[in-house]
Amino acid sequence: MNLIETQAVSIGYADKTIIDNLSINIPQGQITTLIGPSGSGKSTLIRALAHLLKPTTGVILLDQENIQAIKTKTLAKKMAVLPQTNQTANDLSVEELVSFGRLPYRRPLAGLTTTDHEKIEWALTQASLQALRHRTLSTLSGGQRQRAWIAMAIAQDTETIILDEPTTYLDLTHQLDVMLLVKRLNEQSHRTIIMALHDLNHAARFSDHLIAIKKGQVKAQGSVKDVMTAENLKAIFNINATLVDYQGTPLILTYDHYQEDQQS
């Protein structure tokens, strides 16, 4: 079943169209990853799916309901979003940041309820941050900080979590931590995950569903096996990729620039 559908959606800033007439489906309960070259419109699409940007034409449906018609506060209980740059809030402690995730549920001027505390505790445990809860964000490593932001989204306790390039600027180990956390959220807590990733091998290994975008248009969408083909990679990234099958998942072993004359 599809959780989110876009129907002939176009999105742009001022007079520049970034996404043109795009229709995609995002299945419920799965990990869907958007892949594509820089500037292809991944972030723009993510922001539109998250209701941070209004499409110029077309509709985005969440559970068959037009996302524009849903109140911001109601939507915040259905969908948590982590935009790409999170360089703010460095003066806050991990726990303070995570408790922001409970804002959609709180009344004005009211304190945290027992449920709020439970959800914050649960989010900190999921992201393995219990020991760091009182540290300020500025004293954490990049990976720990990113986990704190994800924990905020977890505390929001939504069916859907949207992450824009959650592993950018992290080293290998921290990237793996973040990806495993995302996978756990999907498998154990049955969250629908939508994210944009640059690392194609991570996308292949951790996703159920891939959507490949180039110049604002869908080049391929479907299961990892359907999308991660040499043919598609050539069309999307302009590369000649050598793919290997590792335990049923296609992974890129190595790649080169694709040039027309190679074929002759």
Can you tell me which of 50, 182, 193, 195 binds another protein, judged by CB under 8 A? 50
Can you tell me which of 52, 180, 244, 253 binds another protein, judged by CB under 8 A? 52
For residue 236, CA distances in Å to 26, 51, 84, 200, 262 come to 20, 27, 22, 12, 18
Is residue 101 close enough to count as binding another protein by CB under 8 A?
yes
| Among 174, 171, 213, residue whose Cα is nearest residue 194 | 213
- Closest contact distance (angstroms) between CB of 29 and another protein is 21
Give the range of 101-109, 124-132, 181-189, 218-226 binding another protein by CB under 8 A: 101-109
Is residue 140 close enough to count as binding another protein by CB under 8 A?
no
Is residue 85 close enough to count as binding another protein by CB under 8 A?
yes
Is residue 230 close enough to count as binding another protein by CB under 8 A?
no
- Closest contact distance (angstroms) between CB of 100 and another protein is 6
For residue 223, CA distances in Å to 3, 129, 201, 205 come to 16, 33, 14, 12
| Extended strands (E) in 14-78 | 16-22, 25-27, 31-35, 57-62, 65-66
Q: In angstroms, rounded to a whole number, what is the distance separating the alpha carbons of residues 194 and 142?
A: 22
- Closest contact distance (angstroms) between CB of 71 and another protein is 8
Q: In angstroms, rounded to a whole number, what is the distance separating the alpha carbons of residues 166 and 196?
A: 8
- Closest contact distance (angstroms) between CB of 263 and another protein is 44
Can you tell me which of 13, 68, 103, 171 binds another protein, judged by CB under 8 A? 103
> Quick one: 92 or 176, whose CB is closer to another protein?
92
Per the DSSP assignment, residues forming a β-bridge with 244 are 251
What is the spatial order of strands in the sheet that 209-214 belongs to? 79-82, 160-164, 192-196, 31-35, 209-214, 217-223
Map residue 130 onto helix, strand or coil. Answer: helix
Is residue 205 close enough to count as binding another protein by CB under 8 A?
no
Can you tell me which of 61, 92, 112, 140 binds another protein, judged by CB under 8 A? 92
Q: In angstroms, rounded to a whole number, what is the distance separating the alpha carbons of residues 258 and 238?
A: 5
Give the range of 48-56, 222-230, 243-251, 255-263 binding another protein by CB under 8 A: 48-56
Give the range of 26-34, 60-68, 94-102, 116-124 binding another protein by CB under 8 A: 94-102
Can you tell me which of 34, 80, 163, 185 binds another protein, judged by CB under 8 A? 80
Is residue 47 close enough to count as binding another protein by CB under 8 A?
yes
Is residue 54 close enough to count as binding another protein by CB under 8 A?
no
Tokens (6 digits) for 239: 């590369």
Tokens (6 digits) for 212: 């490949």
Tokens (6 digits) for 50: 């998250």
Q: Which residues bind another protein (CB under 8 A)?
A: 47, 50-52, 71-77, 79-81, 83, 85-86, 88-89, 91-93, 96, 100-101, 103-104, 109, 136, 139, 156
